[in-house]
Amino acid sequence: MNSSVSGMKAQSNWLGTTSDNIANASTVGYKRADTAFSTLVMPHQPAGGYSSGGVETTIRRSISEAGSVSYTNSPTDIAIVGKGFFVVEDADGTQYLTRAGNFQKDAQGHLLNSGGYRLAGYDYRDGEGPGGDLVTIDLSNAPLIASASTVGTFNVNLPIEAGSVSSIMVDTPPSENGPSTRYTKHLKMTSTGDGGGLGGTTDIYFTKLAENKWEITAFVTYGPGATGFPYDLDGGDVFMASTVLTFDPNTGEVVDGDPRLMPDPADNFYYDFSSLLEEDTANAGAIKLKGNFISDTPQIDRAAGEVPPSANLASSVFARKDTYSGYAGLPSHVAIDMYSTKVGDNTWEVTFFNQADSTAGGFPYGEPGSAPLATRTLVFDPVTGELISGAGAFHVAIPDIGSWSVDLSDMVSKQDYFSTIADGMSISLDLARSSETIQPHLAGSVASQNQVGAKYTSKSALTAYDTAGRAVIVDIYYSKGPDNKWEVSVFDQRDTLTGGFPYGVAGSPPLATTILTFDPTTNRLTGNGVLEVPIAGGETLKLDMSGSTQLAAEFNVSKATFDGSKASNPTGYSISSEGIVSATYDDGQAVALYRIALADVMSPDNMTAVNGTVYLVNRESGEAVMGFPGSGNLGKLYSGAYENSNVDLADEMTNMIESQRVYTANSKVFQTGSEMWDIVNSLKR
């Protein structure tokens, strides 16, 4: 009878867990409870007899088994896909673990699940990511924000048939090769052979276009052709290449743009400007020559009375002469003559003089026999042609003027076309950050000149925002110039008292101005078309006008989109797969507030179940280890979804039927035992 009683009790436990599972089949995050059976055996069995024992049960929970996922329209419903548990707290601050992710914001801004527990995470509002102690997530503290305008797209159509406001362009950059070119710095290099005659001239122009942005343009002229703007690019003897480099405002190093120029497409020779620096003041830089001293060049005949350039005599002979002017921090009128001469087997001499000291452009420089500015002897390996002596940079000092550095470490001496710069030249110099920005513009009384009665073709306006969220309206003027060119000028509308010119003090410059050039065939804008407009009290607005056109239609604005916003409260919240809880705003911004914490234990199924579908860690489960969603072995989060219970109703119904049958069988055993006792008791009577 005791065995049957234990059996009925065990089946009652099984029926109890089955009943709980069925009752919680729709409970979010619920984990199925199971009843495990084990035998009870009496310790002392009589010889030839049997003493029945019974059965005992252990309740187990399938906490580590995930349920299916349901999707909702609420961003605060969260499902964990993978390992891990949400960390939640009750009103007393006690922490629990759960997979029940159906959270909703309460009146205090906390995220509560259906059990009334608050979601916990790490504060993200210090601007440097989550950190500190675990805290209850509080969405009521989402900040009021305002964002400054920094980027925008502003495409317009400029009427092709409009009359020109001005037909003259001035201060154009060297890359346009116009008659009114303006630049910041000019470097000139001329090469000749010992027999005389001009081998070639290279003019390199450095032009400051904007803050930290410079145009570098090189013209290569072969033969005795004239140099200067405009260069004859159609004659076949002059070639041009240009690039725009952007410099880091802190380090002064090149950070954007192609630093190599190759003016002549038929020649692999290049100029490398990757070592340029933008500094507060322009200091002397360095020149690094890379090329070949042809090995079978005849060396000087000392027996015949020939002497090298370092002797500085009228009889000095050389293989090549290169002249450099306008270099580095030296005055533009200073020119340096560099002579290259083979003076022995595999040995070359490179000598430098100040051209101002020359006699009719040659030797002697100053007093005959006087020392040159600098001399370098280079020795090459006869087999490999590599430089083995004379490597490294050295200074060419010009008395009372300054000095500059020359590096010949990359020179070789092989049987090949002779040139001290056959492969390329690395140019390193400092560009003065304080240099005036050179801005091309139309001549005459046009909008960019900001005078009363200034002329223009069309006008529009746009609204940007400063860092406080104040609206800043800027007026944009479009003035048609020559040859498919339009001048765009931008002014702050607050600076005008009349609704037009002048803005502020007459003649003061606009906030920004640029020249838009259109392709005459496609009537589409050439170049990048980005106008940088500084907004008072805000940031620099990079206005992308690259989609603008010049068609036979009226002026119109075809697209106008900008970032930035006025001061506003959040309109919603979002939760990323990595657990970052962000406030979202009207302008599409998202501000990270918290990062949800996940925890895991070594043996989740051994945690202690508590009311509200939450669990407490204990000795059997192991301590909780904290982490972030998606890190380590922890799963990721899905916003707008939650995890269902892991109950299978079909299995539970089967278990219920089986439990009922076994319970009935045990009751029959008990009934039979009771009847047997009745028979035994009746024997006494």
CATH assignment at residue 508: 2.60.98.20
Q: How large is the average pLDDT for residues 43-56?
A: 66
pLDDT band at residue 63, thresholds of 50, 70 and 90?
confident
Whether residue 509 is preceded by a cis peptide bond, meaning omega within 30 degrees of 0, is no
Q: Is the distance from CB of 239 to CB of 227 less than 8 angstroms? A: no
Mean pLDDT, all residues of the chain: 86
| Choice between 144 and 50, residue whose per-residue pLDDT is larger | 144
The rounded distance, in Å, linking the Cα atoms of 664 and 156 is: 87
Does residue 250 sit in the same domain as residue 361?
yes
List Cβ neighbours of 175 (8 Å cut-off, separation of 6 or more).
215, 217, 240, 242
Does residue 259 sit in the same domain as residue 383?
yes
Does residue 447 sit in the same domain as residue 299?
no
Residue 600 has pLDDT above 80, yes or no: yes
Does residue 369 sit in the same domain as residue 384?
yes
Residue 491 has pLDDT above 50, yes or no: yes
The model's pLDDT over 539-594, given as tens digits with 9 standing for 90+, comes to: 999 999 999 999 999 999 999 998 888 888 888 899 999 999 999 887 778 888 99
Residue 327 has pLDDT above 70, yes or no: no
The DSSP result for 467-515, as a single string, is: TT--EEEEEEEEEE-STTEEEEEEEEGGG-SSSSS-SSSTTPPPSEEEE
Which regions of 45-117 does DSSP assign to beta strands (E)?
54-61, 69-71, 78-81, 85-89, 95-98, 104-105, 111-112
Measuring CA to CA, how many Å separate 607 from each of 24, 87, 251, 385, 485? 19, 14, 56, 77, 76
Lowest mean pLDDT among 57-71, 87-101, 488-502, 632-646: 57-71
Does residue 337 sit in the same domain as residue 381?
yes
Lookup result for tokens 């005791």: 2
Does residue 205 sit in the same domain as residue 250?
yes
- 597: containing domain: 69-144+570-574+582-643
Does residue 45 sit in the same domain as residue 78?
no
Q: How large is the average pLDDT for residues 452-458?
A: 95
The model's pLDDT over 354-384, given as tens digits with 9 standing for 90+, comes to: 999 999 888 999 999 999 999 999 999 999 9
User: What is the pLDDT at residue 189?
Assistant: 83
Q: Return the DSSP state at 414.
A: -
The model's pLDDT over 639-684, given as tens digits with 9 standing for 90+, comes to: 999 999 988 888 878 877 777 776 677 676 666 766 677 677 777 6
SS3 649: helix
Does residue 507 sit in the same domain as residue 359?
no
User: What is the pLDDT at residue 332?
Assistant: 64
Q: What predicted TM-score, i.e. pTM, was given to this entire model?
A: 0.59
User: What is the pLDDT at residue 418?
Assistant: 43
- A 10 A CB-CB count for 210 gives 16
Q: What percentage of the chain reaches a pLDDT higher than 70?
A: 88
SS3 23: helix
Q: How large is the average pLDDT for residues 3-32?
A: 79
The model's pLDDT over 391-438, given as tens digits with 9 standing for 90+, comes to: 888 888 888 777 778 888 888 888 865 444 446 777 877 788 888 999
List Cβ neighbours of 362 (8 Å cut-off, separation of 6 or more).
none
| Choice between 186 and 462, residue whose per-residue pLDDT is larger | 462
List Cβ neighbours of 211 (8 Å cut-off, separation of 6 or more).
249, 437
Residue 225 has pLDDT above 70, yes or no: no
User: What is the pLDDT at residue 649?
Assistant: 84
**Cα 368-372-377 angle, rounded to 5 deg:** 125
Q: Is the distance from CB of 513 to CB of 488 less than 8 angstroms? A: yes
User: What is the pLDDT at residue 394?
Assistant: 84
φ, ψ dihedrals at 485, nearest 5°: -110, 140
* The amino acid at 33: A
List Cβ neighbours of 452 (8 Å cut-off, separation of 6 or more).
501, 502, 506
Last residue of a domain, one of 509, 533, 566: 566
Q: How large is the average pLDDT for residues 478-507?
A: 94
Last residue of a domain, one of 432, 463, 485: 432
The model's pLDDT over 613-638, given as tens digits with 9 standing for 90+, comes to: 999 999 999 999 999 999 889 999 99
Residue 597 has pLDDT above 60, yes or no: yes
Lowest mean pLDDT among 282-296, 441-455, 458-472: 282-296
Does residue 383 sit in the same domain as residue 445?
no
**Torsion of Cα atoms, 607 then 608 then 610 then 613, to 10°:** 30
Does residue 16 sit in the same domain as residue 159?
no
User: What is the pLDDT at residue 567?
Assistant: 86
Give the total number of structural domains in the chain: 4
pLDDT band at residue 52, thresholds of 50, 70 and 90?
low
| Choice between 426 and 71, residue whose per-residue pLDDT is larger | 71
Buried b (16+ CB within 10 A) or exposed e, 393-412: ebebebeeebbbbbbbebbb
The rounded distance, in Å, linking the Cα atoms of 489 and 480 is: 12
Does residue 384 sit in the same domain as residue 467?
no
Does residue 597 sit in the same domain as residue 670?
no
Lookup result for tokens 């984990």: 31
User: What is the pLDDT at residue 421?
Assistant: 41
